Amino acid sequence: MAIPLRKPRDIEALRKANRIVAETLQLLRERAVEGASLRELDSMAEAYIRSKGGRPSFKGLYNFPSSVCTSVNEVIIHGVPSEYTLKNGDIVGFDVGVELDGWFGDSAITVGVGEISKADRELIACAEDTLYYAISIIKDGMRFKELSYKIEQFIRARGFVPLANYCGHGIGRKPHEEPEILNYLEAGSPKSGPKIKNGMVFCIEPMICRSDMNSDVLGDKWSVVSKDGQKGSHYEHTVAVINGKAEILSQL
Q: What is the pLDDT of residue 1?
A: 61
Is residue 243 pLDDT above 90, yes or no? yes
Backbone angles phi, psi at 151, to 5 degrees: -60, -45
Average pLDDT in the 154-172 region?
A: 98
pLDDT number for residue 105: 98
123, 168, 98, 226 alpha-carbon torsion, rounded to 10°:
-40
Chain mean pLDDT for the chain:
98
Contact yes or no for 89/106 (Cβ under 8 A): no
Q: What are the two backbone dihedrals, phi and then psi, of residue 78, each rounded to the nearest 5 degrees?
A: 65, 25
pLDDT at 187: 85
For 71, half-sphere exposure in the C-beta direction (CA atoms, 13 angstrom radius) is 30
Q: What is the dihedral of CA 73, 155, 96, 218, to 10 degrees?
A: -40
CA–CA dist 8, 15 (Å, integer): 10
pTM of this structure? 0.97
Indicate whether 188 pLDDT > 90. Answer: no
pLDDT for 2: 86
Average pLDDT over residues 159-178: 98
Which class for 43: exposed (0-12), middle (13-18), buried (19 or more C-beta within 10 A)?
Answer: middle
Query: What structural domains and CATH numbers belong to the chain?
Result: 8-248 (3.90.230.10)
User: pLDDT digit string (tens) for 9-20?
Assistant: 999 999 999 999
Are 104 and 98 a contacting pair, CB within 8 Å? yes
Q: What is the maximum alpha-carbon separation in the chain?
A: 49
pLDDT tens readout for residues 86-144: 999 999 999 999 999 999 999 999 999 999 999 999 999 999 999 999 999 999 999 99
Mean of pLDDT values over 78-83 = 98
State the pLDDT at residue 74: 98
pLDDT at 58: 98
Identify the CA nearest to 116 among candidates 154, 78, 90.
90
Mean pLDDT of 168-189: 96
Burial class (CB in 10 A: 0-12, 13-18, 19+), 178: middle
